């Protein structure tokens, strides 16, 4: 009986340890272009792309112990046109939501199966998985920088078909 109580206590303590080891879910932002360096792009090129993700939730709503991530979308700024020094910029915002958890991704109860087939189809109207595109004109002679999705873009030189610029993450 004493051995059973000790094992039960150890199991409970281990469970509490693993529950506390899981941190709260955090949001992450990752730039595809380097920050704080001089960059160049031409008409039709990407000025920056910011990929967004968050921790994969576990059964208790905390962050996945193994570091799994869930895609949350992206923000992108493109150079659409240059007309007499005035830039036409296009902002593309894609927001994704997910109900995936560690139980969906890792499937711990299906380790011994030879084939793993999982088909899931969802159709939603007006969901939060949306993509928005905005075009606007920006005159770097009047204003040197602009902030989109927490990324500050400073235009340093405008040529007829390209721009030189620098990026700064204002949310670091």
Strand partners of residue 73: 52, 95
Beta-carbon contacts of 101 under 8 Å, excluding residues fewer than 6 positions away, are: 56, 57, 58, 59
The pLDDT value given to residue 2? 57
Q: Residue ranges of the chain with pLDDT lower than 50?
A: 119, 121, 123-125
pTM, two decimals, is 0.72
Q: How far apart are CA 156 and CA 145, in angstroms?
A: 9
Q: How far is CA 140 from CA 85, 156, 158, 167, in A?
A: 8, 8, 8, 15
Task: Name the nearest CA neighbour of 151 among 26, 25, 34.
Answer: 34
All structural domains of the chain with their residue ranges: 24-106+127-169
Backbone angles phi, psi at 3, to 5 degrees: -65, -40
The pLDDT value given to residue 62? 87
Do residues 92 and 133 touch, judged by C-beta distance below 8 A? yes
């Amino acid at each position: 009986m004493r051995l059973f109580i000790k094992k039960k206590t150890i199991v409970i303590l281990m469970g509490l340890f693993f529950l506390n080891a899981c941190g709260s879910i955090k949001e992450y932002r990752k730039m595809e272009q380097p920050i704080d360096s001089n960059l160049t792009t031409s008409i039709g090129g990407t000025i920056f792309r910011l990929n967004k993700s968050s921790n994969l939730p576990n059964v208790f709503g905390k962050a996945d112990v193994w570091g799994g991530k869930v895609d949350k979308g992206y923000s992108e700024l493109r150079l659409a046109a240059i007309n007499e020094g005035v830039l036409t910029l296009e902002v593309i915002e894609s927001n994704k939501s997910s109900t995936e958890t560690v139980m969906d991704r890792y499937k711990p109860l299906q380790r011994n199966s030879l084939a793993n087939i999982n088909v899931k189809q969802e159709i939603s109207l007006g969901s939060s998985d949306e993509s928005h595109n905005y075009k606007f004109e920006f005159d770097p002679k009047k204003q040197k920088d602009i902030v989109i999705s927490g990324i500050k873009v400073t235009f340093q030189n405008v040529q007829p078909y390209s721009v030189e610029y620098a990026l700064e993450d204002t949310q670091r």
